[in-house]
Every structure is written in C-alpha cells, then in structure tokens.
Amino acid sequence: MRIVIAGGHGQIALRLERLLAARGHEVAGIIRRAEQSDDLRAAGAEPVLCDLESASVEEVAAHLRGADAAVFAAGAGPGSGAGRKDTVDRAAAVLFADASVLAGVRRHLVVSSMGADPAHEGDEIFDVYQRAKGEADAYVRGLDALDWTILRPGMLTDDAGTGLVRLEASTGRGPIPRDDVAATLAELLETPATAGLTLELISGSAPVSVAVKSVAGN
C-alpha cells in the first residue's frame, strides 16, 4: 500500500513510518519544516512539505492522490495555545479528511485522544484540545466517502512497547507506550474490517494482531 501520514514528524508517526516501511509499504509523511526531512528518510518515509494550517484542500489532495490509505497523526503538541488546538487538532484534521475525499482515498485513520468530545466542558487548554479532537472525530465520522477508523489512545508514554494491548470501544483510562500505538495503527491499516469503529487503546494482555482481529469480528 501507499500510505500518507499527516504530522509525519510526530513521535507516533515516525514509529509508524518505520513499521510500515519494514512491512514493505510505501510511506509518505507530511511535514511543515524541510529540516525534518532527514528524520523521515531515516524512518523509510518520503518527506512531503505542506503546512496543513495554510494549505488548501486541493493542495493537500494533490499529495494524497494515488494513496491507498491516509493517517491523521498531526497535533499542535504540548505547549501550544488554544488557537493552535483549533487550527491543527480540529481544522487540519477536517482539511485532511476533505482532501482524502477529494483524492478518492477511502481508508482513513485518525489518531485521536481518549475523552475527545465536542461537548467537553472547561476552559483549560486540555479542555479546548478535547473539544477540538472531538469535533474533528465527529466530522470524519460524518463522511460517507471514507472508510474511517478512529483510535483513541490512553496516556502516552515513551516506555518500550510490549506488543500487548487492550483495544475496545471503551477501555477505561490507562497508559500506552507510543510503540504500541504505532503497532496498532499498522495493524488497523492492514485490517479493512475495522472501518467504522471508534476504539480506545491502553496496555493490556492481548497481542496487537489478536486485539485488532477481535474488534474486526474475525
């Protein structure tokens, strides 16, 4: 498959690029800064320079044409203010979904956040983030032209992955290594029967492949 990843220099995205390249897929990562290109090449991905905060839907669609799947893994990141939670975590996710539709790329994965909800209350930055992610998720779920899967990991850690997870519609809160998030995304990409599912992910006792097959009904 050819897979295009938005937020290609993110911590989960770089891990995912390595995994997908190792599995023989052709991977492209969308990045904002040219100096990030070498890190993507080292991960086995083709760097694509495009700023999702200023690009048009047609510009993004041009980068998606010919792809078999798209992954939204971009985020404003820690330390960013409420404004960028809206422009990246919500608006860029919406733009990327619209561009996927325009480019005819049906398979669409979103890295969301546990607790994401458009009706989330509160005025702290994290509250704004949860609303932004929730609004983006709701928008993607409303697009009939996409075979979407939304993954909502628990608390992300840099611990080494164990390959053992709990993947369900509702898991309750818990930690999950970024390694295992990337491994789950790679497996979801190769399991089309997970389309239409919103899934929570934390560390657990099931091997990633078994957990994905289980939610896919296999």
Marked catalytic residue, from 88, 129, 150, 186: 129
Picking from 45, 38, 55, the residue whose alpha carbon sits closest to that of residue 17 is 45
Distance CA 151, CA 126 (A): 18
How many alpha carbons lie under 13 Å from residue 75 in its C-beta half-sphere?
17
Distance CA 8, CA 40 (A): 7
C-alpha dist (Å) from residue 137 to 85, 89, 181, 196, 210 = 14, 10, 18, 12, 25
Phi, psi of 207 (to 5 degrees): -55, 145
Q: Is 129 a catalytic residue?
A: yes
Which residues contact residue 181 at a Cβ distance below 8 angstroms, ignoring those fewer than 6 apart? 12, 15, 111, 151, 153, 156, 201
Catalytic residue annotation: 129
